[in-house]
Amino acid sequence: MFSPSDDPGPSFVEVISRILPEKSALPRLISGPETVSYNSGSLISVPHGTTIAAVRYADGVIMAGDRRATEGNFIAHRRIEKVFAADRHSAVAIAGAAGPAVEMVKLFQVQLEHYEKVEGSVLSLEGKANQLSQMIRANLPMAMQGLAVVPLFAGWDILRRKGRIFTYDITGGRYEEVDYHATGSGGRDAKATIKLGYRDQLDEASAVKLLISALLEASEEDSATGGPDPVRGIYPVIATVSEPGFKRVTDEEIAELTQQVLAEKADRGVAQ
């Protein structure tokens, strides 16, 4: 119980930093930047997540992420997930060092829900985007040591009634994209693919297909991005955020659409 003069307000990060300031398991996301030696070449091997993308479509936004995590030149995991529901009306996808990224998402989810419960109202989409920005900024010292987290944030703006996409740099800089964006090691290839296939007001199936082919192209050029794996039934994680809320596209639908994308590609004739 805090006295009214030092009440932490609706911020969960603030609450937890007062209650457990010394808890070592908590990342620096909470305590904020501190001075560290900027040794960007340090070679600790941690799993990294790779290509993530988001596209606006007729009803909102769609986000996708491949399933591979790498440690140096090893494949660390085949089925890690990089797209998460941040709350009912927003989604966050992560690229970069998997450990701090997943922790950041977890904290971000609690932060949004905590605000909603304490205040009795939901943060605006812009408010959510700014919260994430602050967490990335707090992670800067870790980023300088090679543990960068670069998420992609998208959601349905209840006030403006449209889907919006936000991108970040490692310093917490926040930029709004108009129609689409992709980031991570295969981000360039994914973005180029989306750019060529993008049209205004895409329907859901076409937008999902566009993202599937973007991740497919990225996986062909970037060793750290995993392609679809029909043998094990591993497909990208794809989710839509629209007025009714966050919804994951089922694996069956994605498998089906992946088949279509591959068939169309074969029909066109594959460039060597």
Partner 1 sequence: MTMPFYVAPEQVMKDRADYARKGIARGRALIGTVYQGGVLLCAENPSKSLHKISEIYDRIAFAGVGKYNEFDQLRVAGVRHADTKGYAYSRDDVDARSLANIYAQYLGQVFTHEMKPMEVEILVAELAPLTQVGGLYHILYDGTVMDESNFSVIGGDSETISERFSSTFKKDWSLKEALRASVAALAGPERKIPVSELEAAVLSESNGRRAFSRLGQTQLDELLA
- Taking the C-alpha atoms of residue 135 and residue 137, their distance in angstroms, rounded to an integer, is 5
Closest CA to 62 of 53, 70, 71: 53
- The H or E element containing residue 73 is none
Under a CB-based contact definition with an 8 Å cutoff, are residues 87 and 122 in contact?
A: yes
DSSP-derived pairing of the beta strands 174-177 and 162-168: antiparallel
5 backbone φψ class: left, alpha, beta (φ>0; ψ -120 to 50): alpha
Q: Give the torsion sign (CA, 122, 127, 129, 135).
A: negative
Smallest gap from Cβ 5 to partner 1, in A, equals: 14
Burial of 60 (C-beta count, 10 Å sphere; 0-12/13-18/19+): buried
Identity of residue 10: P
In the complex with partner 1, the residue whose CB is nearer, 26 or 255, is 26
Quote the tokens at residue 145: 């040591």
In the complex with partner 1, the residue whose CB is nearer, 115 or 156, is 115
In the complex with partner 1, the residue whose CB is nearer, 80 or 112, is 112
Closest CA to 30 of 8, 6, 48: 8
Smallest gap from Cβ 208 to partner 1, in A, equals: 23
Smallest gap from Cβ 10 to partner 1, in A, equals: 9
In the complex with partner 1, the residue whose CB is nearer, 85 or 214, is 85
Smallest gap from Cβ 15 to partner 1, in A, equals: 5
In the complex with partner 1, the residue whose CB is nearer, 3 or 272, is 3
Smallest gap from Cβ 35 to partner 1, in A, equals: 27
Q: What residue ranges bind partner 1 (CB under 8 A)?
A: 1, 12, 15-16, 19-20, 23, 106-107, 110, 113-114, 117-118, 120
User: Active-site residues: which are they?
Assistant: 50
